[in-house]
Amino acid sequence: MFTALYRTFNSFPVNVLYELNESSSLENSEEWITDLSVNEQNITLEYFRTFRSVELLYDFITEQETPEILSKTYKASCSISLYNKRIVIYGSKAACSNLERYLEKKAHIKLFSSKVEMQGILNKISTKMYQIKSVEYCNVEFLNVNLNSLTLNVKTNIDAQQILSKVPSSPSKTSIEIYYGKTCYKLNIDFINGSMKLNYDSFKSNDIEDLKELILSFFEEE
């Protein structure tokens, strides 16, 4: 799964990132940042987080279970626009959520969800083969009934466009399938939280890098 989080901020203490980057090279920590690059308008960095767990492994020779410490490292990348005051965090789901927490706790940066528009997404994927599968709403009026939530599964993009034009509210979530030949990628978008999750079969993901670039292009302003 590939995850992208879209955030905004009011102020950004760049000097704190320099300190965190320097301390990361000295400390033996479970999380650290590296490859920090800063210019007048943009900042990029890489974040790593190691998760450790104790699991029981069965030894067929001794016929006993022995505890063993296992570790796995997850990575997330971060692109920051100082001019637009926007951040996109992308990579593995576990690392993305932890990088957001890391920036807020260690760098003292208050992050806010960045609104992503449905029509902006459709404009970006207009050259791709895609199918809108579902559209969700929160606190919406539908057929003269006020609903806390509403999920509409659709069969065609025409049906989806009719729903978007007739429901007097912006969708809260949507699920879109994007096709490359016979390979299907499922993109789940949370407009309220400003997050996207791309699910795919890793054994058939020859076009995944192109899709990742497409998702990151949502971060760019029209």
Q: Which of 113, 148, 169 is the last residue of a domain?
A: 113
Average pLDDT value for residue range 39-61: 84
Distances (CA, A) of 130 to 46, 133, 215: 31, 9, 14
Residue 47 identity (one-letter amino acid): Y
Same domain (yes/no): 141, 55: no
CATH code where residue 94 lies: 3.30.160
* pTM beyond 0.75, yes or no: yes
Measured in whole angstroms, how far is the alpha carbon of residue 71 from the centre of its chain? 23
Same domain (yes/no): 83, 127: no
SS3 153: strand
The pLDDT tens digits for 106-157 are 989 999 998 888 988 999 999 999 999 999 999 998 888 899 999 999 999 9
At residue 170, φ and ψ (nearest 5 deg) are -80, 140
Residue 43 near residue 36 (C-beta atoms within 8 A): yes
Tokens (6 digits) for 111: 């992050």
What's the CA gap between 211 and 180, in Å, rounded? 10
